[in-house]
Amino acid sequence: MSKILVIDDDLTTCNLLNKFLSKHGFTVITTTAAKKAIEHLNETQDFDLVLCDLRLENGDGKDILLRSGELYPDLPVIIITGFNDLKTAVNIMKLGAYDYILKPIIPEEMLSTIDHALKDKREKTHPREKPVEENAEKENAETFTDSEYISAQSKDFQLIMEQMSLVALTDYSVIIYGESGVGKEAIAQEIHKRSKRKNHPFIAIDCGALQKELSGSELFGHEKGAFTGAVTQKIGSFELANKGTLFLDEIGNLSYDIQTSLLRVIQEREMRRVGGNTDIQLDVRIIVASNKELWTTSQKGDFREDLFHRLNEFTIKVPPLRDRKEDIMIFAQHFFN
């Protein structure tokens, strides 16, 4: 079993990479500090690969790359960088990095790069610089699937894209916060497209548009004759999204009763249609969105606190476009085209 040292000053990134790589059979050691990473390298010789962010809060990935090269010349080091320029990448390669991965991380690309590095290490080949042309092709490939308009240049949105790529590797429930119009549903769709559920349905529901009396039927479906007007059986959004992703926009608008039912479904991973007596097993990833902080809402008694904790496995906050003005022309050009 190959052992990987992961170095990133963002604890969430470390945890997600640990979870993802462990699921793929690797032994993973993580650290958020450059100094601690160098201590790990000084103390042990049994790492098979190093995965390191270029920009660290208390150090530099280049320092780790150079120290690793001094201690273990055949130990492949893969650098993660959010700086999308060829000059930086080529310089890193010249310093001895095996390869680099641009943020946002594409899971399949990361695994492929790691596999190639470990194979070359086993064959006792040395890290080699890749041609600039190949790096250029790789750079051009770093685009979002089917949603090019979501790409942006601001630091805030680069962080959001990294968060999307990382959380997509898991089945965590996600809360997306942001004002109306910032693209919360587009972000939810991108997480789905980058996940293992991408070949299954993505179902989006606007909770603010649901009629209170019919919201249970919309979410969970109903049996024929369950209530006046139920002349046929209806399949609800949860069933439609089975094996895929259910996106609940403006979840804070759901009534307290429906919140209670939703909590049970999330806890038990099963549901009953309205008027039904048979439990239906579910495998659905939940992504929700709100323009209000759900924790604050729960403290006011308008949202179930236990439901909040069930949903709050990962949070993405999307700033409005007026706070990231460097992205304006990207969106303008997209819609102009």
pLDDT digits (tens, 9 = 90+) for 107-163: 888 898 899 889 888 875 444 444 444 443 333 333 344 444 466 778 888 888 888
d(CA 102, CA 89): 9
**Domains, the chain:** 3-140 (3.40.50.2300), 148-323 (3.40.50.300)
pTM above 0.85, yes or no: no
Please list the pLDDT of the chain residue by residue as tens digits (337 residues).
899 999 998 889 899 999 999 999 999 999 998 889 999 998 877 899 999 998 887 778 888 888 898 898 889 999 988 755 556 766 777 788 888 887 778 888 889 889 988 988 887 544 444 444 444 333 333 334 444 446 677 888 888 888 888 888 888 899 999 999 999 999 999 999 988 899 999 999 999 888 877 888 889 988 888 787 777 888 889 999 999 999 999 999 999 999 999 999 998 899 888 888 888 999 999 999 999 999 999 999 999 999 999 999 889 999 999 999 998 988 888 888 8
Q: What is the edge-to-edge ordering of all strands in the sheet holding 3-7? A: 27-31, 3-7, 49-53, 77-81, 99-102
The 3-state DSSP class for residue 164 equals helix
| H or E stretch covering 177 | strand 174-177
Residue listed under structure tokens 């969970």: 220
* Burial environment of residue 36 by CB neighbours within 10 A (0 to 12, 13 to 18, 19 or more): middle
Query: Residue 90: what pLDDT?
Result: 64
